[in-house]
């Protein structure tokens, strides 16, 4: 495994051994991933959940949103019969495991359950992980949390079938940006090869994740690109735009569907930093930020109460768009 230049490094064998001991001796395991789950968070959790269930454990899985709903984009992931609403989640689990969660806040309403868990195994690859578990399997050098999930299943001796592989592959392909990001190591491709050998359908996974949307998406995208701004911002180039609730309402487009707009905006040659502010159904602004490498957007977003990775991070704002952007600019 690679050593991460930001520090951290691979998970020590003694921690893996402890994890294997804890999981092997548990009858019941409660799994959680971060709120607004992406494919890596939900996929890693469901993969481990399906494998543990096949291995004879009682498994519950969830994420801590009051209005509990799997994003449309991720409805194709197998294993969703493991999911329970946060209200039905064990209040004080014997063994709880979290996936892709860097900080307890991102557990949403399940953070109380994590506080009361007897053992809490944190499986994650964010460099910013605070180590909030009783055992932390955190490797910032891993391309995705799915890499750590696969490693754990191997160490537990649990087989990875086509459905489990589909969940892991969705995480890997998402977090490597379809094998485009610098996290695309020989190890990442070797993992993809192992997963593909189970017979999963990469074409279908890619179409579900990126290559489909309702027609309304094109109309909203048109409106949003029409108001995009390019500005110098500390000589680095900042490109940004925003999507209001009203934009979505006028075409009947759900919030989930606008997640991909940042990938259109960030391609701008003249900008190192890209920002898309998305107004959710509660009127809060979910801000997606991307950097080409000069700026560590995780640090900027952390200063604004959010987090993420150096090149892809986010935060939530309750201020109007212009005020949010003024605060963001000031930190660049």
Is residue 59 a contact point for ligand 5GP (CB under 6 A)? no
- The window from 6-14, 23-31, 313-321, 324-332 that contacts ligand 5GP (CB under 6 A) reads 313-321
Question: Which residues 271-290 are close enough to bind ligand 5GP by CB under 6 A?
Answer: 288
Count the Cβ atoms, other than its own, within 10 Å of residue 1.
Answer: 13
Q: Which is nearer to ligand 5GP, 64 or 314 (CB)?
A: 314
Rounded-to-integer distance, Cα 151 and Cα 54, Å? 17
Q: Can residue 308 be called a binding residue for ligand 5GP (CB under 6 A)?
A: yes
- Is residue 32 a contact partner of residue 120, using CB atoms and an 8 Å limit? no
Minimum Å distance from CB 326 to ligand 5GP?
19
CB of 174 to Mn ion, least distance (A): 8
Residue from the set 19, 100, 298, 300 that interacts with Mn ion by CB under 5 A: 100
Q: Is residue 40 a contact residue for Mn ion (CB under 5 A)?
A: yes
139 touches Mn ion (CB under 5 A): no
86 binds ligand 5GP (CB under 6 A): no
Task: Please select the residue that binds ligand 5GP; options are 137, 273, 312, 325, rule is CB under 6 A.
Answer: 312
Query: Cβ atoms within 10 A of the Cβ of 267, count?
Result: 11
CA distances from 240 to 38, 226, 229, 259, 329 (A): 22, 11, 5, 14, 11
Closest approach of Mn ion to the CB of residue 133, in Å = 16
Asked if 171 is part of the footprint of ligand 5GP (rule: CB under 6 A), the reply reads no
Is the CB of residue 169 less than 8 Å from the CB of residue 192? yes
Exposed e or buried b per residue across 206-218, where buried means at least 16 C-beta atoms within 10 angstroms of its C-beta: eebbeeebeeebe
Is the Cβ–Cβ distance between 138 and 8 less than 8 Å?
yes
Cβ proximity to ligand 5GP: between 10 and 306 the closer is 306
Most distant pair of Cα atoms in the chain: their distance: 57
Please choose which of Mn ion, ligand 5GP, none residue 59 contacts, taking the beta carbon within 5 to 8 angstroms, the exact cut-off set by kind. Answer: none
| Residue 252: CB minimum distance to Mn ion, A | 30
Binding partner of 134, given ligand 5GP, Mn ion, none, CB within 5-8 angstroms per partner class: none
Alpha helix locations (H) across the chain? 13-25, 39-54, 111-116, 145-156, 162-175, 186-196, 202-209, 215-226, 245-251, 261-265, 297-303, 321-331
Secondary structure percentages of the chain, helix, strand, coil, to 5: 45, 20, 40
CA distances from 163 to 68, 123, 169, 191 (A): 23, 20, 10, 15
Alpha carbon distance 56, 49 (integer Å): 11
Tell me: does residue 145 bind Mn ion (CB under 5 A).
yes
Residue whose C-beta lies closest to Mn ion: 40
Whole-number minimum distance, CB 27 to ligand 5GP, in Å?
31
314 contributes a contact to ligand 5GP by CB under 6 A? yes
Stretch that binds Mn ion, among 40-48, 109-117, 150-158, 195-203 (CB under 5 A): 40-48
129 binds, among ligand 5GP, Mn ion, none (CB under 5 to 8 A by kind): none
Q: What angle do CA 139, 258, 179 make, to 5 degrees?
A: 40
Q: How far is the CB of 231 from Mn ion (least distance, A)?
A: 30
Under the rule (CB under 6 A), what is the footprint of ligand 5GP? 103, 106, 262, 288, 306-309, 312-316
Under the rule (CB under 5 A), what is the footprint of Mn ion? 40, 100, 145, 175
């Amino acid at each position: 495994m690679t050593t991460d230049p930001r520090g951290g490094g691979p998970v020590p064998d003694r921690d893996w051994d402890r994890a294997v001991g804890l999981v092997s001796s548990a009858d019941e395991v409660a799994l959680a991933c971060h709120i607004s789950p992406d494919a890596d968070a939900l996929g890693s959790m469901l993969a481990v959940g399906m494998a543990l269930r096949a291995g004879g454990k009682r498994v519950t899985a969830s994420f801590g949103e009051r209005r509990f709903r799997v994003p449309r984009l991720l409805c194709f992931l197998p294993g969703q019969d493991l999911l329970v609403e946060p209200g039905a989640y064990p209040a004080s689990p014997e063994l709880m495991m979290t996936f892709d969660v860097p900080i307890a806040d991102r557990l949403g309403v399940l953070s109380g359950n994590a506080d009361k868990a007897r053992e809490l195994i944190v499986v994650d690859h964010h460099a910013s992980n605070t180590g909030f578990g009783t055992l932390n399997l955190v490797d910032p050098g891993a391309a995705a949390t799915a890499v750590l999930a696969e490693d754990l299943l191997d160490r537990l001796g649990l087989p990875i079938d086509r459905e489990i592989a589909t969940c892991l592959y969705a995480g890997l392909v998402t977090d490597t940006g379809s094998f485009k990001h610098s996290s695309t190591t020989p190890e990442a491709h070797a993992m993809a090869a192992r997963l593909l050998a189970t017979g999963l359908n990469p074409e279908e996974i890619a179409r579900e994740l990126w290559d489909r949307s309702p027609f309304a998406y094109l109309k909203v995208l048109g409106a949003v690109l029409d108001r995009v701004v390019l500005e110098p911002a500390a000589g680095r180039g900042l490109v940004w735009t925003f999507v209001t609730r009203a934009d979505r309402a006028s075409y009947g487009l759900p919030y989930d569907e606008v997640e991909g707009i940042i990938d259109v905006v960030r391609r701008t040659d003249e900008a190192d930093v890209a920002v898309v502010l998305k107004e959710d159904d509660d009127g809060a602004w979910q801000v997606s930020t991307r950097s080409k490498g000069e700026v560590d957007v995780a640090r900027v977003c952390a200063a604004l109460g959010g987090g993420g990775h150096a090149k892809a991070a986010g935060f939530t704002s309750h201020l109007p768009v212009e005020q949010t952007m003024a605060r963001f600019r000031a930190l660049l």
